[in-house]
């Protein structure tokens, strides 16, 4: 299937505001496909949901008629926003969900989210295939991942290969290292990697918003260096080197009909 890529640089909108807007658009689109102002059912699954996040979980909990959280980590059992907590890998969940759909005890999902999950998978195509498998024919997925071409992404991958991630984070963010940190793989998380992985997983379209919010990266730096992300963001905005932005916000479309109403596909680098 053809893969459509549209990239946009929106420095004025943070990643979670964009995520919320995308969720609301997916809800409205689901309603429109049913010819109503609100969908009869809007089923959402959050892959790698963990304990949830106040920045976006309440929005999807309000939109969804059934909200499922999936995660291998025990934190999923403490997620207060989802209707159903599934302690499982994405791949195992996809297999069990497909069996449930086949025997009529479950329905496909209208929307899947995976927020900062891609970079933890050694084989992201397997993650995308699992997401593809649980979606309905007109389903969509929204993912957020660091851009592997941004200095933060490059440093994360290098530290992971050298097995130095924990040591460095323990110095920079000691309060979080034992509480909320998972191994980073940072595989194929670039515009071109996402496009290829989406095609291999069977998606019909991929839309990528490029964001560069200095506030995402400043907490990882010593106080005297926290101006660097701001300078970097201004530099890539001025030079239009958008492919080097810090964060990829990805929308995947499962079916060909899902592309109706998209922005005109362009590639702006």
The DSSP-derived string for 36-102 is SSS-S--EEEEET-TT--TTTHHHHHHH-SEEEEEESSGGGGG-SS-SEEEES-HHHHHHHHHHHHH
Residue 254: predicted pLDDT: 93
Pairing of strands 135-146, 247-253: antiparallel
Looking at the predicted structure, is the pLDDT value of residue 63 above 80?
A: yes
Give the tens place of pLDDT for each residue, 7-62.
Answer: 444 445 678 888 888 999 999 988 888 767 778 899 999 999 999 999 999 999 99
Give the tens place of pLDDT for each residue, 190-207.
Answer: 999 999 999 999 999 999
| Fold type of domain 7-254 | Rossmann fold (3.40.50)
User: Mean pLDDT across the chain, nearest whole number?
Assistant: 85
Q: What is the pTM of this model?
A: 0.87
C-alpha–C-alpha distance, residues 176 and 214, integer Å: 20
Looking at the predicted structure, is the pLDDT value of residue 264 above 60?
A: no
């Amino acid at each position: 299937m053809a893969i459509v890529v549209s990239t946009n640089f929106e420095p004025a909108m943070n990643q979670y505001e964009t995520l919320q807007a995308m969720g609301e658009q997916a809800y409205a689109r689901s309603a429109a496909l049913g010819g109503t102002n609100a969908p009869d059912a809007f089923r959402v699954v959050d892959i790698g949901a963990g304990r949830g996040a106040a920045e976006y979980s309440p929005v999807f909990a309000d939109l969804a008629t059934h909200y499922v959280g999936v995660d291998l980590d025990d934190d999923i059992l403490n997620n207060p926003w989802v209707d159903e907590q599934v302690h499982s890998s994405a791949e195992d969940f996809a297999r069990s969900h497909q069996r449930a759909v086949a025997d009529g005890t479950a329905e496909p999902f209208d929307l899947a989210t995976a927020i900062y999950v891609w970079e933890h998978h050694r084989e992201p195509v397997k993650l995308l295939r699992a997401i593809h498998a649980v979606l309905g024919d007109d389903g969509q997925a929204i993912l957020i991942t660091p851009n592997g071409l941004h200095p933060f992404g490059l440093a994360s991958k290098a530290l992971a290969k050298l097995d130095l991630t924990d040591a460095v984070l323990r110095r920079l963010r000691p309060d979080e290292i034992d509480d909320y940190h998972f191994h980073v793989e940072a595989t194929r998380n670039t515009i071109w990697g996402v496009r290829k992985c989406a095609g291999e997983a069977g998606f019909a379209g991929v839309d990528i918003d490029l964001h560069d919010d200095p506030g995402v990266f400043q907490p990882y730096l010593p106080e005297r260096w926290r101006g660097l992300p701001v300078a970097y963001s201004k530099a890539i905005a001025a030079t239009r080197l958008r492919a080097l932005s810090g964060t990829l916000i990805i929308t995947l479309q499962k079916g060909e009909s899902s592309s109706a109403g998209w922005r005109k596909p362009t590639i702006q680098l």
